Amino acid sequence: MEFTEYNEQEIIRRESLSAMREIGIEPYPAEAYDVNITTQEIKDKYNADEKNLQEISLAGRIMTRRIMGAASFMEIQDETGRIQVYIKRDDICPGEDKAMYNTVFKKLLDIGDIIGIKGYAFITNAGELSVHARELKVLSKSLRVLPIVKEKEGQKYDAFTDPEQRYRMRYVDMIVNPQVRDVFIKRTKIMNTMREFFNNHGYLEVETPILQPIPGGATARPFITHHNALDMPLYLRIANELYLKRLIVGGFTGVYEFAKDFRNEGMDRTHNPEFTVLEIYVAYKDYFWMMEFVEQMIEKVALALHNKTLLKLSDKEIEFEAPYRRLPMLDAIKEYAGVDVAGMGEDDLRAVCQKLNVPVNNTMGIGKLIDAIFGEYCEHHLIQPTFITDYPVETSPLTKRHRSNPALTERFELFVNGKELANAYSELNDPVDQLERFREQVKLKDKGDDEAMFIDMDFVRALEYGMPPTSGMGIGIDRLTMFLTDTHSIQDVLFFPQMRPEKGSKQENQESEEQGE
């Protein structure tokens, strides 16, 4: 998007920029600025009796200003918070030349500018911890006006609250609403805690391809691109499962990856086309072992984040302490929908869906019909962490058949607060069965199911070399962050969520022209 028209305030700021350079002050200096303390460290370390912190250097963004002649106050904000700064003209301009104060500070600096301050900490007569500036340096001139939150007669106005603007201009959102950074700090802590958990078990973090010749490892609609040098179509990965299992074939006992996955599907408060998933595969384990592993991991993450496992999500209290309930999918349907669908064929299941007013279409087979009933009647009841187990074969093409019922698979999904959080299997390692499952997926694709899997013959070949009994699990990092920070939209846990082109942009105009054609 190009910006060619400026409002009055933006014009004034550009004039201030030029004025700074005319008097010899570079508003974007190249040299580094030595910062030896943060605003929070000043608050934590200052001792009024000892009068310590007499040689401090900090940097931050001007958020408020009060000009009072030869002495003024401002608030500057860094990553850790805000602190008041006291500016005295004769301190920052000890000689005859008072231009730094009279011209630069009073006239050319604006809210939003980034400055460096050298001075000492002290307590004002009003009892507020502040920094007395001995030196002020301009580090970056802000050419746009921040939507600073102001208060008048108890009412707040000019707040940066519009969701679309907040997501589109996250950089402004974090300046004006610094509390939003806390969610992203917790997101990183979640991932670091998980890494520590996996590493302590001796498992290896790896990387696998994002561009793949065959989109495998999940049932989803992929994004398609083209590789010019190879003159072939490629797909952004919808999952990294098949590559990680190749590594198990190659001899690793346990591997995991925090992966960016992409699915060309709908967007809502819990789905974004680009998302982060953790997948882990461990040899010589099954889905019973993985259930215990997952609940231990999530309990550990909750404790690391909150020092407790009983957390409040909206108006509900969720207990993340292990163990979690285990409930087979067909038993859940019997419990919440009042129907026993075990052993039913496609026609009978369609009749049940019609009776229960569950929307279906002609592309759906046995597995998706069962899943539709479950989604309509069961999911919203699963508030406390619950493992739903033993899914139909038709919806689990990479999963080992159930050891006591070949119509089902050894698969579980973890549900919390009515939403699916994790998906795990006893991995299918029979190459003959795997090839047949792939062929069944092709039949579903021919029937019109555009989420059905492709046949990946290289993966089948890998299984033919022998993969040990293995359990694998995938968990959405975005959704896990939502749960553990009581956040209600996936856009609030993504720095830069996917959005439509900004109104008036070249991209929007081009798309409008293409649609017109």
Confidence grade of residue 509 (pLDDT, cut at 50, 70, 90): low
Sort 431 into a burial class: Cβ within 10 Å, 0-12 / 13-18 / 19+: middle
CATH T-level assignment (fold) for domain 181-323+456-498: BirA Bifunctional Protein; domain 2 (3.30.930)
Number of C-beta neighbours around residue 272 at 10 A: 21
Residues in contact with 420: Cβ distance below 8 Å, sequence separation at least 6, in sequence order: 379, 413, 414
pLDDT of residue 73: 95
pLDDT at 158 over 90: no
- Cβ atoms of 245 and 462 closer than 8 Å: yes
User: For residue range 159-216, what is the model confidence (pLDDT) as tens digits?
Assistant: 678 888 899 999 999 999 999 999 999 999 999 999 999 999 999 999 999 999 988 8
**255 contacts 204 by C-beta, under 8 angstroms:** yes
Structure tokens at 241: 């499962």
Q: Is the pLDDT of residue 148 over 90?
A: no
d(CA 441, CA 110): 62
Domain residue extents for the chain = 8-146, 181-323+456-498
Choose among 206, 216, 268, 270: nearest CA to 241.
216
Asked if the model's pLDDT at residue 97 lies above 70, the reply is yes
Other CB atoms within 10 Å distance of the CB of residue 446: 9
> Largest Cα–Cα distance in the chain?
94
Contact 227, 343 (CB under 8 A): no
Q: Of residues 446 and 303, which shows the higher confidence score?
A: 303
Cα–Cα distance, 291 to 388 (Å, whole number) = 10
The third-level CATH classification (topology) of the domain covering 8-146 is OB fold (Dihydrolipoamide Acetyltransferase, E2P) (2.40.50)
> In whole angstroms, how large is the CA radius of gyration of the chain?
29
Tell me what the pLDDT averaged over the chain comes to.
Answer: 91
Q: Is the peptide bond before 501 cis (omega within 30 degrees of 0)?
A: no
User: What are phi and psi for residue 178, nearest 5 degrees?
Assistant: -60, -20
C-alpha atoms less than 13 angstroms from C-alpha of 384 in its C-beta half-sphere: 11
Q: Counting beta carbons within 10 angstroms of the beta carbon of residue 119, is it exposed (0 to 12), middle (13 to 18) or buried (19 or more)?
A: buried
User: In this structure, what DSSP letter does residue 116 have?
Assistant: E
DSSP3 helix / strand / coil % (the chain, rounded to 5): 35, 25, 40
118 pLDDT above the threshold of 80: yes
- Cβ-count burial of 34 within 10 angstroms (0-12 exposed, 13-18 middle, 19+ buried)? exposed
Asked if 161 contacts 492 with a C-beta cutoff of 8 angstroms, the reply is no
What pLDDT is attached to residue 517?
46
Q: What is the pLDDT of residue 220?
A: 84
What is the per-residue pLDDT across 254-293, written as a single tens digit (0 to 9) for each?
A: 999 999 999 998 888 888 999 999 999 999 999 999 999 9
Q: At what angle do helices 241-249 and 457-464 cross, to 10 degrees?
A: 20
What residues pair up with 353 in beta bridges, in sequence order?
none
- Among candidates 377, 411, 394, 188, which has minimal Cα distance to 294? 411
Which backbone phi and psi does 383 adopt, to 5 degrees? -80, -55
For 387-438, what is the HEC assignment?
EEECCEHHHCCCECECCCCCCEECEEEEEECCEEEEEEEEECCCHHHHHHHH
Average pLDDT over residues 324-334: 97
Q: Which tops the pLDDT comparison, 402 or 447? A: 402
Answer for the pair 485, 186: CB distance below 8 angstroms, yes or no: yes
377: nearest Cα among 413, 408, 335: 335
How many whole angstroms separate alpha carbon 489 and alpha carbon 478?
10
Give the C-alpha separation, 296 to 132, whole Å.
50
Which residues, at least 6 apart from 430, have a Cβ–Cβ distance to it below 8 Å?
400, 463
H helix intervals, 326-400: 329-337, 346-355, 366-377
pLDDT for the residue 3: 54
pLDDT tens, 205-228? 999 999 999 888 887 889 999 999
Reported residue count of the chain is 517
Judge whether residue 430 has pLDDT over 90: yes
H or E segment and range at residue 85: strand 81-88
Planar angle of CA 253, 255, 256, nearest 5 degrees: 155
Of the candidate ranges 110-119, 148-157, 160-169, 177-186, the one whose mean pLDDT is the lowest: 148-157
pLDDT higher than 60, residue 155: no
Number of alpha helices (DSSP H) and beta strands (DSSP E) in the chain: 16, 20
Confidence of residue 510 (pLDDT cuts 50, 70, 90): low
pLDDT of residue 435 exceeding 70, the answer is yes
Instruction: Select from 481, 483, 490, 415 the least CA-distant residue to 258.
Output: 481
